[in-house]
Structure 1
Amino acid sequence: MNRHLIYILLVIAAAVAVTGCNITKSVPDGDALYTGATVKIEDSVLSSKKKKSMRSDLASLIRPKPNKKILGVRFKLAMYNLAGNPKKEGGFRGWLKNKVGEPPVLLSDVNHLRTAEILQSSLENTGYFHAKVTGDTTVKGKKATATYVAKPGPQYKIREVVFNKDSSILTKTIDSAAKNSLLKPGDPFDLGVIKSERDRIDAYLKERGFYYFDGDYLIIRTDSTIGNHEVNLYVHVKPQTPKEARLVYRINNIYIFPSFRLNSATNDTLKANASYYKGYYVADRRKLYKPRMFEQSMQFKPGDVYNRTDHNLSLNRLVNLNVFKFVKNRFEVVPGGADTPRLNTYYYLTPMPKKSLRSEINASTKSNNLTGSSLTVGWRNRNTFRGGELFAVDATGGFEVQFSGNFKGYNTYRGGLETSLTFPRFLVPFIQINTRGGFVPTTKLLLGYDLLNKQKLYTMNSFRAGFSYIWKENIYKEHQLSPISVSYVQPLKITQEYLDSAAKNLTLQKAIEKQFILGSSYNFNYNELAAGGNGTGLYFNGNLDLSGNIAGLVTGANAKDSNIKYIAGAQFSQYVKLEGDVRHYTKVSSGIIWANRLIVGLGYPYGNSTALPFIKQFFVGGTNSIRAFRSRALGPGTYKDTTSLTFLPDQSGDIKLELNTELRAKLFSIVHGAIFVDAGNIWLYNADSLRPGAEFRASRFMKEIAVGAGVGLRFDISFLVLRLDLAMPLRKPFLPDGERWVIDKINFGDPAWRKENLIFNLGIGYPF
């Protein structure tokens, strides 16, 4: 498969090279291929930095854009030319031309006079009132370019910003916002900033009760006649602004209709069934919901001055209850309230089905050639105790198999059952905690059971229980605190083959040890991409995991002195584990993203443990890790398993360092490409005589870093991303010091080298 993939890539590259030599093949006679535009700035005053910025800003406005280049080649145009004139639109050549290819951008598509007007207008909007822009085109053979010459002239700056003053409450409120104005004396005149200032004032007024105000009611007049290339700006409310937009509104009555349907009765009929609870009228005739749930969700109270923040937060909290399918609201002016304007508030909530079934199917493949799938079926019972609670039961089954090769018959089967009960509030004994913000905090109780059967090797079962608090500060920041987290793992069956293998390789014992983990954990997640954005942002996930602290203190356990203590027949684990995952995504240009990741993990076993429990240890290698090495086969340290086993043991460690960098580019249609470099390793905290070279040492760990690189294709099919990566090692830490870099040993023509070093990964989703 690796050889075939390489051949395909070489054929595509050759085709692109050939067609790239005749890039104007499809250009009609009498026309030319438009290859782009150049912007020149003619000015003796502007600094070189300012000219560069101006050129970039103006260039971004030029239309049309020429055919895109990928690594210097107009790939899409080359594919369009390569396809020729297919007879069938549905055939391969039709697909290549219409889906992958891109028709040539022609000189006849360019209107350089209109474009020059747009560039000149842009300069005028940024204070260059005397700017002049001219445009022209140049044709050489079958290719053409455009050139735009800009003479900006002097840029006008703001001398003074004047806010109108009178006795009205509206004008006084606007004047109180003047200190935070975006318009600053000495700054250049900029129409974009002026529009932003109108939006800022509008948002400021919305927070202070001016419900009916709109930014269009503001006008900012400009006086450019004061000389010295300066302007004065005057902020006014338009005289025709309606009366209701000048008034401050307070909240009157709040009505909540939690069983609303499109064919529901009128407001008056609905209100007749409402009961009063702590300031709110809840129309719940069937008593399906506890009124306390709405009181905790609402950020408005009767008598409050209207503000947009509380308006949006209330809607967000009702949506995040995950009980209602649709949430909308309406404000209505209370008649006869000219002296004290008030708004009645109505919330219309359409419930989700109380009970529902869901299913999820996944497919996966690993670089150790195991392929598998899993199916999860879940049942949901919403509003279990009439307070927005969610009771969930999920049953999961899955397998990983290899149909040929060394691991044929060593299949893995998994099954599990998990139940959880989630409350939309903090459950703290004897304390009621009320929170603000757009996200409802939750308390989650969890109980789970898992069964793992590694055919011909062993069968393990495990029990899990937990108690967690989950809350979000905002859309970017989420916290999860688990004061109690319990895991109990024990073997059900171990085959003689595995016992014999464990006798040769004692590290295999770790996978079948009884494990009892009683501890606490805290997780913090920060994601700047959660709100969408332009593709540039930071992601951080940090985790603190503690186990066995109280039990170790009470029992005085000390594994190093052979004073080992047990709970339920299992040696309880005692450790502190820290892990941080930092990622940064940079949008280099349209369709190109540079992604970087750093993972640092540290496990400190002490007291009753000399190493982290197997299920808590770190692993590297595989589809989403260091892709040039097989799944869980790398490390720890310089250790390499040399025992002749019919299956590969999972190599684990207490310390982890991993770095990844990947450049992603859209090639055409749903096809994206990537080049990447991965590096890292794992280590043990304490020395292990069975795995020499596995212990972490600060003086040498950088010499024990594995490095791999590769290329990949991603097929983005809207609901999933199918990923194909081909990687090879550049540095092998298990080789003797001085021989670990293996770049000079790359030999694509050697079948033995390809079999050992080319690692093919098939994955679902991006690696990070």
Structure 2
Amino acid sequence: MRNKATKIILLIISGLILISCSLTKRVPDGKYLLEDNKIEVNGEKKNDEEIRDQLYQQPNSTTLIGVHTRLHLYNLAKPNADSSYRAWLERKPARHEFLTKLLSEKQVGRLGNSFIVSGLSNFFKKVGEPPVIVDEARVKKSRNRLFAYYYKKGYFRAKVGYKIDTVGNKKAVVNYDVITGDAYKIDSIKPLIESPLLDSLYVKAAPASLIKKGKNYQETDFIQERERLTTYFRNRGAYTFQQNYINYTIDTINTGHKANVELIVDNENVRQGDSTYIRPFKLYRISRVNIYTVNAASENQSIDSTTYGGFKIYSTGKLNYRPKAITDAIFITPGSMFSDERRVLTSRYLSNLRVFYYPSIQYVEDSTDVSGTSLISNIYLKPRERFRVNAAADFTHSNIQEFGIQGSLGLSVRNIFRGAEVLQLSTRGNIGSSRDNSIKDRSFFNILEYGADIKLTFPRIFFPLNTEKIIPKNMIPTTALSFGISRQQNIGLDKESFTGIFNYSWTPRPNRHTAKLDLFNIQYIRNVNPGNYFNVYSSSYNRLDDFAKEYRNQVPDAYFNSNNNLDPQEGTLLFIDDVKNGTITVAPGDEQSIRSIDERRKRLVENNLIVATNFTYTTTTRENINDKDFFIFKTKIEGAGNTLSLVSGLFNENKNASIENRTLFDVQYSQYLKGELDFIKHFDLRRNKVLAMRAFFGLAVPYGNSTSIPFTRSYFAGGSNDNRAWQSYSLGPGRSGSRNDFNEANLKLAYSAELRFNIFGQLNGAIFGDVGNIWNVFDEVDDPDYTFNGLSSLEDLAFGTGLGFRYDFNFFVVRFDLGFKTYNPANDEGSRWFREYNFANSVLNVGINYPF
């Protein structure tokens, strides 16, 4: 055993030596591969990414285990594949002559640039990374940049040195030594503002200044303060003001590491013809607002105009919009001060209407104002096409549907009621092929789904009372009313569904916070073929069939089919009824199991009526799609059935009836309260590495008219966006072992983390870990294996780990994740860790874009 271990260690060491030597394969003699940059600041080693990013040369990239993958790939390429090919030809003239006769001289020449000869080398060069050779000129530039970095932080007397040390074969380490000295602190701030009006504004803006006495000098504070003051002035009438009018003078001579700051704001420099002159800045007001729009059908007609709320609206031909629909979107009003903020808000609101292209907003000085402090705002609106048709088709595949063709056809009608409303009509359909045993139709296309939707969007809050004080129009509110119907045939229980939603949405803070209120969210689901239940839910059927065979001597032969199995449509129900009424006597534990199977069947085949109200609030720090350091927090609360509980007593079907649960139109309506918290955080680790995490908590509590949560509103675990070591619906509840085909519950805890990194080019990798599960709580299920029973149930949290590969196509990402069951709570104690950590029990997930 000792000899084997020694051989393994020697093999590993030999491999590492070979890998190390191959790194310098393309390093020229007399040159050195940059092994590392080491930075010491005041004698302390620093490895901060922000400091290291100041250096012009960085070592070759590595994977998580420290292997220079891209450098190795580059070294595999031939430096000059075409020259090698030519040398190969010339070594044997007969070879060249043979190829010329077989092809031609021209084709033989082209062969050197073909994929056969150069393709693999070119590929390695493209995805690989050339060796980073130590360049002393760049080292000096890095030294100067480090000095500038600390200078901008107030270390005006910093000193930076460097030393290049060779290590091993053709390798070197660059050592940077930084002595910062003491930082300079702000001692005084003196404003020197020549324009009296701006001086008055500065007095009000000064308390929020980023430059404060006693604070370390930071160049970024001065840059941001210049931007802040410019924004402040321009939002209060300073139409002609620009950043370059703000300058600083900083005195550090004989001050004892203190900085005295003079904030200088110059007067306006005005150019008139070939000459220029200086004058104090003016603050401008808007005297008029002109709105220009085009009637596409009347481009050659005369200009029509109207006045509404102080706005002047011009149109070629008849105006196609109600004036209020346009003026409500405009925050630049006559009599208001010039403001960049109002201009941006106006552009956002007009674009959000979706009936105009991006607007053009221009300002000109009002020549009729002798004081020269008035502006005319001209807003140009170009209407989008009123009708738009969308058509799409796709091929699909799922675990039930081997092959499917789906398509959709939609029509959008803009400005349908002349108030900038948008009407959207759409139809969708899918035909597919399935060999599932629950589908009796054996023809090729034996699955059919179809549906239609209608949605009407209003660019305002549609409510009888005035909501301006609660949700002002600068939050860009919208109201949407939508209806949808759909039908499935030969899929499961052949569902029919109807949905109706009346909601409001608004943005309390642009690009940061969004709010959505579904005042009414109605869903009605009708199961057309409930008798097919045991054909679809095979796990429940198999358990029931086992019970029937165990008590075969009491079960009539008529309950079984020709295969001596319980008939899935009639025999199952007759067997359950006989057990419940005592005709067939079974053990108490078996009776409880059979009753549980029947209760689940009734729950899943019953029709659902859900009338809910929910509120969702989302906040984020994400700047744009390229932001790698941000968080997203989303919370949602939903209540269902309360409105129906108030009105259901008015219907005859609920009068004089001694029933526990009320119905509406012969359907028991659902009543529950549901809350969710969803938190996503991304950490930018630099050099194309990101740590992403997600935490989720959800709880739905039935009450009143319900003892369980509808299947469509419950939680499941597993899948490509959840715990990736389990397939969708195959994890939980609790430690039950996922006995059903589709396992769901009303409490969910989940946490995921993954380290994302670049492998080469557009190919990225990830190492991830997922923790989570679902449980039943506060509902009709009382089996301790299924339910959450306090902190002890946290032992039921499943843990999956794995690795993934993602290819970035710029506009979307294709994702492959391989998950392994690391801790499975369904197993017996003592065999939960790593017992299924193998490829046989792994799960391959394919997805589009990142999971969170």
- Shared fold (TM-score greater than 0.5)? yes
Amino acid at match of 2:426: D
The corresponding residue for 1:535 is 628
Aligned pairs, how many?
A: 727
2:211 alignment partner in structure 1: 183
Residue in structure 2 matched with residue 718 of structure 1 by the alignment? 810
For residues 65-464 of structure 1, the aligned pairs below 5 Å read: 65-71=58-64, 72-85=66-79, 86=81, 88=113, 90=115, 93-94=120-121, 96-108=123-135, 110-140=137-167, 141-164=169-192, 168-238=196-266, 241-242=269-270, 246-259=281-294, 273-284=304-315, 285-335=317-367, 337-360=369-392, 374-398=406-430, 413-431=448-466, 433=468, 436=472, 439-455=475-491, 457-464=492-499
Gapped runs of 5+ residues in structure 1?
1-13, 643-647, 749-753
Aligned counterpart, 2:6: none
User: Residues 540 and 183 (structure 1 numbering): CA distance in 2 closer, same or farther, change over 3 Å?
Assistant: closer
Q: Hey, what does 2:847 align to over in structure 1?
A: 763
Change (3 A) 1:747 1:735: closer
Distance in 1, matches of 2:199 and 2:738, equals 78
Residue deviations 1:459-486, cap 9 Å, x none? 1110111211111112121111122222
The answer on whether the counterparts of 2:526 and 2:608 sit within 8 Å (CA) in structure 1 is yes
SS in 2 for 1:172: helix
Partner secondary structure for residue 74 of structure 2? helix
- Contact 1:84–1:97 (CA under 8 A) maintained in structure 2: no
Compared CA separation, residues 98 and 372, structure 1 to 2 (3 A):
farther
Shift of 1:159: 1.6
Give deviations 1:259-302, integer Å, cap 9, x for gaps.
Answer: 299x989xxx99x6432110111112321111101221111211
Q: Which residue of 1 aligns with 2:549?
A: none
* Aligned residue among 575, 599, 619 for 2:696: 599
Q: Distance in 2 between matches of 1:497 and 1:516?
A: 20
**Alignment-derived partner of residue 623 in structure 1:** 720
Asked if 1 retains the 8 angstrom alpha-carbon contact of 2:815 and 2:849, the reply is yes
Tell me if the contact between 2:391 and 2:408 (Cα under 8 Å) persists in the aligned partners.
yes
In structure 2, what is the equivalent of residue 5 of structure 1?
A: none
1:653-700 CA-to-partner distances (Å, cap 9, x unmatched) read 121122211111121111111111112222223565797722332253
Contact 1:365 1:761 in 2 (8 A): no
Query: Aligned partners of 1:338, 1:674: CA distance in 2, in Å?
Result: 67
Secondary structure at 2:522 match in 1: strand
Deviations 1:372-403 (A, max 9, x none): 67543321111111111010012223467778
- Who wins on radius of gyration, i.e. which is larger? 2
Q: Distance in 1 between matches of 2:850 and 2:195?
A: 60
SS in 1 for 2:382: strand
Structure 1 residues 641, 235: closer, same or farther in 2, change over 3 A? closer
Contact 1:617–1:654 (CA<8 Å) still a contact in 2? yes
Alpha-carbon spacing, 1:402–1:633, altered in 2? closer, same or farther (3 Å): farther
Corresponding letter in the other structure for 2:205: A
Q: Deviations over 1:23-57 (max 9, x none)?
A: 111222332212332223347xxxx6xx859x765
Amino acid paired to 1:202? T
Post-superposition offset of 1:359: 3.8
What is aligned with 2:795?
Answer: 703
Task: Quote how far apart the aligned CAs of 1:509 are.
Answer: 4.1
- The CA deviation string for residues 486-509 of structure 1, in whole angstroms up to 9 with x for no partner, is 211112234657365583843344
The match for 2:105 is none
Asked whether the equivalents of residues 718 and 727 of structure 2 are also in contact (C-alpha less than 8 Å), the reply is: yes
1:681 maps to which residue? Answer: 773
Q: Using a 3 Å threshold, how does the CA distance of structure 1 residues 589 and 16 change in structure 2: closer, same or farther?
A: farther
Distance 1:641 1:138, change over 3 A: closer
Alignment of 1:45-64 (within 5 A): 52=46, 57-64=50-57
What SS is found at the alignment partner of 2:416? coil
Residue aligning to 2:517:
481
CA contact (8 A) 1:367 1:761 kept: no
Q: Which has the higher contact order (CA 8 A, sep 6+)?
A: 1
Distance 1:518 1:554 in 2: 12
- Give 1:369 deviation, angstroms: 9.6
d(CA) in 1 for partners of 2:601, 2:21: 59
- How many Å separate the matches in 1 of 2:679 and 2:212? 38
Check conservation: 2:497, 2:523, Cα contact below 8 A: yes
Identity among equivalent positions (%) equals 26
- How far apart are the structure 2 equivalents of 1:174 and 1:89? 68
Q: Distance in 2 between matches of 1:42 and 1:548?
A: 67
2:501 counterpart of 1:466: yes
The residue aligned with 2:613 is 520
**Counterpart position of 1:608:** 705
Contact 1:366–1:622 under 8 Å retained in 2: no
Mapped to 1, the partners of 2:607 and 2:385 lie a distance apart of: 42
Paired letter, 1:539: I
Structure 1 residue 445, shift from structure 2 partner: 0.8
Matching residue's letter, 1:351:
P
Cα distance in 1, alignment partners of residues 158 and 700 from structure 2: 64
Correspondence 1:497-516 to 2 at 5 A? 498=534, 501=568, 503=572, 505-506=597-598, 507-516=600-609
Larger displacement relative to structure 2 (235-244 or 623-632): 235-244
Matched residues in 2 for 1:70 and 1:437: separation?
51
Structure 2 CA distance, aligned partners of 1:530 and 1:386? Answer: 35
CA drift of 1:360 comes to 4.8
Deviations along 1:547-592, whole A, 9 cap, x unmatched? 211333455789xx95222222211111112222221111122311
Q: 1:366 to 1:733 in 2, by over 3 A?
A: farther
Following the alignment from structure 1 to structure 2, what is the Cα–Cα distance between the partners of residues 712 and 366? 21
Q: What one-letter code is carried by the residue in structure 2 that aligns with 1:710?
A: G
Residue 823 of structure 2: which of 712, 731, 755 is its match? Answer: 731
Letter of the 1:379 counterpart: L
Structure 1 range deviating more: 623-632 or 18-27: 18-27
Change (3 A) 1:101 1:665: same
How much has 1:452 moved relative to structure 2? 2.5
Separation in structure 1 between the aligned mates of residue 242 and residue 295 of structure 2, nearest angstrom: 30
Secondary structure, in 3 states, of the residue corresponding to 1:313? helix
Equivalent AA in structure 2 for residue 330 of structure 1:
Q
Root mean square deviation of aligned Cα: 3.4
Higher mean alpha-carbon deviation, 61-70 vs 496-505, is at 496-505
Structure 1 or 2: more helix by fraction:
2
Decide which moves more: 203-212 or 369-378: 369-378
Return closer, same or farther for 1:548/1:716 CA change in 2, 3 Å cut-off: same
Output the CA distance in 1 between the equivalents of 2:713 and 2:645: 18
Tell me the residue number matched to 2:94: none
Report the AA paired with residue 737 of structure 2.
Answer: K
Check 1:158–1:388 CA distance in 2 against 1; reply closer, same or farther (3 A cut): same
Q: Is the 8 Å Cα contact of residues 205 and 229 (structure 2) preserved in structure 1?
A: yes
Residue 449 of structure 1 aligns to a residue whose secondary structure is strand
Question: 2-side partners of 1:671 and 1:293: how far apart?
Answer: 48
Q: By how many angstroms is 1:429 displaced?
A: 1.7
Q: Which runs of 5+ in 2 are unaligned?
A: 1-13, 83-112, 271-277, 536-566, 573-593
1:572 aligns with 2:669: yes
Counterpart residue identity of residue 131, structure 2: P
For residues 545 and 371 of structure 1, what CA distance do their matches in structure 2 show?
Answer: 37
Pairwise CA distance, 1:747 = 6.3
Q: Is the 8 A contact 2:701 2:779 kept in 1?
A: no
The alpha carbon displacement at 1:602 in A equals 1.1
1:216–1:62: structure 2 CA closer, same or farther, 3 Å change rule? same
Normalising by structure 2, we get a TM-score of 0.78
In structure 2, do the counterparts of structure 1 residues 509 and 148 end up closer, same or farther at CA, with 3 Å as the change threshold?
Answer: same
